[in-house]
Structure 1
Amino acid sequence: MRHIPNGLTLLRMLLTVPLAWLLRDGRYDLSLAIALLAAFTDALDGYLAKRFSWQSQLGGLIDPVADKLLLIACFFGLAGAGALPWWLAALVIGRDVVIVTGAVAYHNLVGPLTAEPSLLSKLTTALQIALVLATLLHLSRFAEWPGWFNLGLLAAVTLVTLGSGIDYVVRWSLKAWRETHTQRDGPQ
C-alpha cells in the first residue's frame, strides 16, 4: 500500500506520452482530460503520502520529474499548435534545464544537494499550470477568456519563470561559494 503514491507518480509520467500525441493532433478536449487526470493523480499521491506517511526518497525524486515532464510536454505541444509563443516554451524548458544542470554541478563539485523549492518556484509552477489549463480550456472551447486575461497570465508566467530561474542560480551559487570556502578555509 505504501507504494501507491509512487505508482500514481509513474502513471503521471506515462500520461505524458498520450498528452503529447493529443496536443500534436489538435485534440484539445482529450488533452484537457489527460491534463486534469494528471493533476488529480498529483494531488492524490501527495495526499496519500502525507496522510499515511508513505513518503519515500524515490517519491521525492520522481514527483517533481513527473511534473516537469508534463509541463514540458504541454508547453512544447501548445507552442507547436501556435497557442503559446515558442520563446515562452524555450524559457520554461530552459529554466528547468538550468536548474537540473546546476543541481548536478553542485552535487558533483560541492556535495550532496537537498532540493528546497522556494516559494517563488512553487508560484512559478502554479502559474505555469494555470496558463496551460487556461489555454487548454480555451482551445477545447470550454471557456473563452478576454484577451487581457491571456496576456496577463502570459506576462505573469514570463516574469516569475525568469525570476525563479535567476533566484535559483544566485541562491545556489552563493551556497556553493560559501560551502567551498568553508571546506577550504575551515570554519571562521
Structure 2
Amino acid sequence: MTGVQGDRPGPAPEQRVLPVTDRLWTVPNLLSMVRLALVPVFVWSLLRHELGWAALVLVVAGASDFADGKIARHYGLTSRLGQVLDPVADRLYIAATVLGLAAVSVIPWWLVAVLFAREAFIVLMYPVVRRHALPIPEVTFIGKAATFNLLGGFPLLLLGHVEGWWTVLSLACGWALVWWGTVLYWVTGVTYGWQVAHMVRQRRDAGRVVR
C-alpha cells in the first residue's frame, strides 16, 4: 500500500501551533473584560431579586465565554493577556454566581463547598508551580466544557425559580448541566495536578542529567 513501510506507522502529522501575541486590545480580550464587567450587574440583579435579568446576564456571560475562544483560535488572536484573563474571568464569574445563587437559595451551600474545594486544590499547587517556574497549562476542551455546562446550567436554575410553564423543564435541564459541569470541573483540577506533577518530575530528571 502506498505510504506504508512494513508495519511501521508513518510520521505523525504536525499539529498546528497558534501564535501568541502581546496585543492587549483584541476582540477576545474585550469579551473577557465585558464578562468581568457583568459580574456586579449580576450581583445587583440578584440583590433586587430580578431573577430573570440575572439569568439573562449569565446567558450573555456564557455566550461571551464561548465566543472569545472561538474567535481567538479562528483568527489567530491568542494573546498572553488572554491566556490569563480568560480563566480569571471564568473563575470570578463562577465564584460570584455560586455565592449569589446560594444566597438566594437557588443552589445548596454544600455545592458551593464542592466547587470552592476544587479552586482551593488548584491554589495549593501555586507554590510548587512558582518554585519550579512551570508554565501555566493551556485551557483544555474539558475545562471549557465544564465552564460551559456551569454557565449554561446556572441561568436555567434561575429561570426554574421564576413562575411559568418552563419551571420544571428549566430545573431539570439546569441541574443536569450543573452536575456534569461540577464533575468536569474536578476532572480538570485533577488533570492540572497530574500535569504539574509530571512537569516537576521532568525538571528533576533534567537536573540529575545535567549534574
TM class by shorter chain equals: 0.7 to 0.9
Q: Greater shift after overlay, 19-28 or 77-86?
A: 19-28
Q: Kindly indicate which of the two structures has a greater share of residues assigned to helix.
A: 1
Q: Is the 8 A contact 2:154 2:174 kept in 1?
A: no
**What TM-score comes out, normalization by structure 1 length?**
0.80
Give the Cα separation in 1 of the matches to 2:180 and 2:192.
Answer: 18
The alignment partner of 2:194 has SS state of helix
Deviation at 1:35, TM superposition (A): 1.2
Give the Cα separation in 2 of the matches to 1:120 and 1:59.
Answer: 18
Deviation at 1:63, TM superposition (A): 1.0
The answer to whether the aligner puts 1:134 opposite 2:156 as a matched pair is yes
Q: Taking structure 1 as reference, are residues 145 and 69 closer, same or farther at Cα in structure 2, changes over 3 Å only? A: same
Aligned twin of 1:4? 27
The answer to whether the aligner puts 1:114 opposite 2:136 as a matched pair is yes
Q: Greater shift after overlay, 58-67 or 162-171?
A: 162-171
Amino acid across the alignment from 2:135: L
Q: If you compute each CA radius of gyration, which structure gives the higher value, 1 or 2?
A: 2
**What TM-score comes out, normalization by structure 2 length?**
0.73
The answer to whether the aligner puts 1:84 opposite 2:81 as a matched pair is no
Aligned twin of 2:9? none
Deviation at 1:183, TM superposition (A): 3.5
- Report % sequence identity: 23
Q: Taking structure 1 as reference, are residues 37 and 86 closer, same or farther at Cα in structure 2, changes over 3 Å only? A: same
Alignment RMSD, CA only?
2.7
Report the number of matched residues: 185
Alignment of 1:1-188 (within 5 A): 3-102=26-125, 104-141=126-163, 143-145=166-168, 152-153=176-177, 155-176=179-200, 178-186=201-209
Deviation at 1:162, TM superposition (A): 3.7
Deviation at 1:152, TM superposition (A): 4.7
Q: Taking structure 1 as reference, are residues 165 and 77 closer, same or farther at Cα in structure 2, changes over 3 Å only? A: same
Give the Cα separation in 2 of the matches to 1:112 and 1:46.
Answer: 23
